[in-house]
Amino acid sequence: MTPIRTLALGAILAALSACQAPAPPKSPAELAAQAAAMTPADPRLADLYAHACKACHAVAASGAPLAGDRAAWAPRAQKGMAALMGSVVSGYKGMPAGGQCFSCTGQDYQALIRFMADQPVN
Ligand code: HEC
């Protein structure tokens, strides 16, 4: 086989396998842009989010798992809602107690966590 043919075959195989492969993981820039654009649909939650969680959870440099970054949230979601609520209420590593939300109810925290994790959290 000539090198050209080999190249062409390689390109076809690569294209075929790309069709079957799952969507490639998003780049850090894509994840940051996605987090920056996300806001809860509920107006009250959107307000709470904009004035608290978003300051860190839409800023990669904060070290917080970004809103909508499902891969970053997956191991946290596995801890379960009770554990995550405990982290927010008491503070956790770089996150201050209450997540800087002074008017969030327990229900608000749960809704905000589900919104950011973008996956079921039980
Ligand atoms: C001042 C920055 C900051 C704010 C504001 C903030 N967080 Fe965080 N949050 C963090 C950081 C940093 C982490 C990751 C800590 C780590 O794992 O090192 C985190 C982690 C979390 C976790 C995962 C905890 C765990 O046990 O894995 C949850 C849940 C969470 N934040 C919810 C919230 C919610 C809800 C709000 C808004 C009410 C909020 N955060 C506001 C910085 C913040």
Q: pLDDT tens-digit profile of 63-115?
A: 999 999 999 999 999 999 999 999 999 999 999 999 999 999 999 999 999 99
pLDDT per position as a tens digit, 36-61: 999 999 999 999 999 999 999 999 99
d(CA 31, CA 59) in angstroms, rounded, equals 10
Please give all residues whose beta carbon lies within 6 A of any atom in ligand 1, as ranges: 52-53, 55-57, 62-65, 76, 79, 83-84, 87-88, 92-96, 99-101, 104, 109, 112-113
d(CA 76, CA 71) in angstroms, rounded, equals 9
Residue 32: pLDDT above 80?
A: yes
- What's the pLDDT at 118? 98
User: Which ligand 1 atom lies nearest to the CA of residue 117?
Assistant: 29
The upper half-sphere exposure of residue 104, i.e. CA atoms within 13 Å in the direction of its Cβ, equals 26
Burial track 71-87 (b if 16+ CB lie within 10 A, e otherwise): eebeebbeeebeebeeb
d(CA 119, CA 13) in angstroms, rounded, equals 34
Query: 48: Cβ–Cβ under 8 A, 6 or more apart, which residues?
Result: 101, 103, 104, 108, 112
